Chain A
Amino acid sequence: MPIFNPDVETRERKELLEFQNERLQIVVNQAYSHVDFYRKKFDEARVNPDDIKNLEDLKRIPFTTRKDLMDNYPYGMFAVPLRDVVRLQFPMGLYGNPIVIGYTRQDLKIWRELVARIMVGIGITEHDIIQVAFNYGLFFGAIRFNQSAELIGAAVVPTSIASAEVQLRIMQDFRSTVLASTPSFALHIIETMKRKRIDPQTLSLKIGLLGAEPWSESVRQVIEENLNIKAYDIYGVMELVEPGVAGECSARAGLHIFEDHFFAEVIDPRTGQALSAGREGELVLTTLTTNAYPLLRYRTSDVTALHYDRCSCGRTMVRMDRVIKRTDQMVSVRGINVFPEKIEEVLAGIDGVGPGYSMEVTEKKGLNDRLKVLVEASPEILAAKEEKKIALQEAVHLALRRAIGLRVEVEIVAKDRVLGVGWRG
């Protein structure tokens, strides 16, 4: 398969590390001089930016967490004045303070190239027609497929949240060759095909570019067999760039992290100690080129392992295992991230319900599909008339929907049916 930017993607690791080293010092200088949060954090940890001389010294810098981003909402983490920012992104579904991520024109140009690298690496060319069936409203990453496809000259059909039937009709009529969606939506399309007796031979699909939620190898197999495609995994972090941090290549031996823009570490999430190559732990990323929103040692909460040996595709960039687990309790429902903390926050605002609740993600073939929340209600409410219970159920449902952006099934139950306050799972 061709390589979009061979100079960079196949650079000898020694040179790559020297490049990362040079960039790391610059990003540390910028963060220290432009971001009050980092200046304070360095000073408190008694780390002088001038002490950061190599990638090993990076370990002396404290981690950045999602809480830091929340505490510094809205613009406390920005390294540039607002005037230089051309896009502000606001991920949905977070609890507590929201977070906002800024991008300069230059940042967007970089991220556009990264998804293009993934596309080219799995064989997408200017002759392809990419049908993007991500939710453009809730998953900001969707728009990146447009920009990157346009960069390599492929055509984009942003079908967004059209129903599976409409998606299939477009697939047939437009002869779409690539499907970009969540794996669960790909499964939904397969089910619809079976129900409508649509022969996969009537489709022109060749490639699936799937992500935004965890999916197993067995799910990959089901999708590939039923859609007659090769399906590839793509990875991003909503606080940095999503997607575009890493992606699979034709070898499918892990996802290549774009190390010219991110420095990756894996740590033990309990001790914070760095783990050696091949060991599973929490992925920690440091941005090396970001202008607006530099993050030093950001804890992604995603669990993976890193592999540095050269890939058969020719790329020298480190590969990460596919992410199936997280260190926090976030679940992904149809590509939308849901934090239990958010549910607690919503329930706390409604009289007569909570604090106990249970979250249930109804799974389909190992995939998160529907979210059901059992909510504890007071005995008075449970003894009340059916209409009153339904009204309350509806109120919780609406509040959750507004907060998360997803339809959530709600059932009001007695205390003994939920597994306790703040139980998450």
Chain B
Amino acid sequence: MLKIKNIDAFFEKIQVLRRVSLHIEAGEIVSLIGANGAGKTTLLNVISGLHPSRNGSRVFLDVETRGLKPEKIVALGILQVPETEKVFNPLTVLENLELGAYLRSQDRGQLMEEMEQVYQLFPILRDRKDQLAGTLSGGERQMLALGKALMGQPKLLMLDEPSLGLAPTVVSEIFRIIQSLNERGITILLVEQNAKEALRICRRAYVLDTGRILLTGTGEELLNNEEVKRAFLGKDYKGKWER
């Protein structure tokens, strides 16, 4: 579905992505894990067209997306739920959801139907539909962000730290929802600092380290990988001889 090959990206003169290559197949959940500053969010922004990339190629459903404006990339079916500022706080829940469908044909009947589906997935949003998004709790805001993205009918949904700052019970709810979205046929690229959960629900994952892909494998393989355990579950070692 998405094939990225040899992407470089820079902030001014500092290189933040180094010939990153990865692929996502239709129907997969692929997780991207890595320490702070590894380049995860930049990679998502590159895929969305929000951050320029140099060299390489980014082919989505056989279309080269390099040089395309972000709105064109959204129209192709790639939607990103950013880590922060994911909803429009001064607007109501309903208005946020309507905005999610902004780029699509405005068949009112169809929109209502889709909104109904979003409400079924997130009943809390129906209760709060006239409330301003800024007054929602963190978990509700994340659900609204997901609902808003769904209104855009994504083929590939990219989620940036969806569990960040949420209470543990809400976190597991969010991961359940991500899985159910995937079961409905949406391909998902998940960036997470909660590596354990991200690896548990994904099919495959990549580990990004200072701008380079350092490891890949199935979620299960990486969960059992000692290097991942050390890097993300707080274990460290001193040298080769350590047992």
B215 in complex: contacting residue of A26, A53, A82, A83, CB < 8 Å = A26
Closest to B8 in A: A50
- Beyond A21-B21, A83-B242, A104-B226, is A29–B216 a contact (Cβ under 8 Å)? no
Encoded as 1 (CB less than 8 Å from any B CB) or 0, chain A from 68 to 96 comes to: 00000001001011111000000000000
Encoded as 1 (CB less than 8 Å from any B CB) or 0, chain A from 20 to 52 comes to: 011101100110010000000000000001101
Which segment of B38-46, B71-79, B233-241 sits at the interface? Answer: B233-241
B214–A81 touching, CB < 8 Å: no
Interface residues of B in 1-53 (CB under 8 A from A): 3, 5-6, 18-19, 21-23
Interface residues of A in 137-163 (CB under 8 A from B): none
B5–A82 touching, CB < 8 Å: no
A23–B216 touching, CB < 8 Å: yes
What's the nearest-Cβ distance from chain A to residue B6, in Å?
5
Closest to B210 in A: A33
- Beyond A75-B241, A80-B226, A82-B243, is A29–B212 a contact (Cβ under 8 Å)? yes
A105 interface hit (Cβ, 8 Å): yes
Closest to B4 in A: A22
What's the nearest-Cβ distance from chain A to residue B175, in Å?
25
B159 interface hit (Cβ, 8 Å): no
Alpha-carbon distance between A291 and B239 when the two chains are bound, in angstroms: 16
**Complex A-B, nearest 10 residue pairs according to Cβ-Cβ distance, in ascending order:** A84-B226, A53-B6, A22-B21, A29-B212, A75-B240, A81-B237, A50-B18, A81-B240, A29-B214, A83-B243
What number of A-B contacts does a CB cutoff of 8 Å give? 65
What's the nearest-Cβ distance from chain A to residue B105, in Å?
34
B227 interface hit (Cβ, 8 Å): yes
Given A21-B5, A80-B227, A81-B240, 12 further pairs, Cβ under 8 A = A21-B21, A22-B22, A22-B213, A22-B216, A26-B213, A26-B214, A33-B214, A50-B18, A81-B226, A81-B237, A82-B240, A291-B225
B224 interface hit (Cβ, 8 Å): yes
Contacts of B18 in A (CB 8 A): 50
Alpha-carbon distance between A25 and B6 when the two chains are bound, in angstroms: 9
What's the nearest-Cβ distance from chain B to residue A54, in Å?
8
B243–A29 touching, CB < 8 Å: no
Closest to A78 in B: B240
Contacts of B5 in A (CB 8 A): 18, 21
Closest to B237 in A: A81
Contacts of A25 in B (CB 8 A): 19, 21, 212-213
B19–A50 touching, CB < 8 Å: yes
- Beyond A26-B213, A30-B214, A78-B240, is A83–B226 a contact (Cβ under 8 Å)? yes
A18–B23 touching, CB < 8 Å: yes
B240–A105 touching, CB < 8 Å: no
Contacts of B23 in A (CB 8 A): 18-19, 22
What's the nearest-Cβ distance from chain B to residue A95, in Å?
25
Q: How many residues of B contact A (CB 8 A)?
A: 27
Alpha-carbon distance between A84 and B3 when the two chains are bound, in angstroms: 32
Contacts of B237 in A (CB 8 A): 81, 83
What's the nearest-Cβ distance from chain B to residue A28, in Å?
9
A18–B216 touching, CB < 8 Å: no
A82–B242 touching, CB < 8 Å: yes
Alpha-carbon distance between A52 and B243 when the two chains are bound, in angstroms: 33
Interface residues of A in 82-128 (CB under 8 A from B): 82-84, 104-106
A30–B240 touching, CB < 8 Å: no
Closest to A23 in B: B216
A30–B226 touching, CB < 8 Å: no
- Beyond A22-B21, A53-B6, A75-B241, is A106–B224 a contact (Cβ under 8 Å)? yes
Contacts of B21 in A (CB 8 A): 21-22, 25
B221 interface hit (Cβ, 8 Å): yes
Closest to A22 in B: B21
Contacts of A52 in B (CB 8 A): 19
Closest to B215 in A: A26
A-B contacts, 14 listed (Cβ < 8 Å): A19-B23, A22-B23, A22-B216, A25-B21, A25-B213, A26-B216, A50-B19, A50-B212, A53-B19, A81-B242, A105-B224, A106-B217, A106-B221, A106-B224
Closest to A36 in B: B240
Encoded as 1 (CB less than 8 Å from any B CB) or 0, chain A from 232 to 271 comes to: 0000000000000000000000000000000000000000
Contacts of B3 in A (CB 8 A): 18
Contacts of B212 in A (CB 8 A): 25, 29, 49-50
Alpha-carbon distance between A291 and B213 when the two chains are bound, in angstroms: 14
Contacts of B227 in A (CB 8 A): 80, 84
Contacts of A26 in B (CB 8 A): 213-216
What's the nearest-Cβ distance from chain A to residue B90, in Å?
43
Contacts of B226 in A (CB 8 A): 80-81, 83-84, 104
Contacts of A19 in B (CB 8 A): 23
Alpha-carbon distance between A78 and B227 when the two chains are bound, in angstroms: 13
Contacts of A30 in B (CB 8 A): 214-215
Contacts of B19 in A (CB 8 A): 25, 50, 52-53
What's the nearest-Cβ distance from chain B to residue A169, in Å?
43
Closest to B25 in A: A15
A81–B239 touching, CB < 8 Å: yes
Closest to A19 in B: B23
What's the nearest-Cβ distance from chain B to residue A288, in Å?
10
Alpha-carbon distance between A84 and B230 when the two chains are bound, in angstroms: 11
What's the nearest-Cβ distance from chain A to residue B25, in Å?
10
Closest to B216 in A: A26
Closest to A25 in B: B21
What's the nearest-Cβ distance from chain B to residue A397, in Å?
38
Interface residues of B in 199-234 (CB under 8 A from A): 209, 212-217, 221, 224-227
A29 in complex: contacting residue of B56, B213, B221, B241, CB < 8 Å = B213
Closest to A102 in B: B240
Closest to A24 in B: B21
Closest to A75 in B: B240
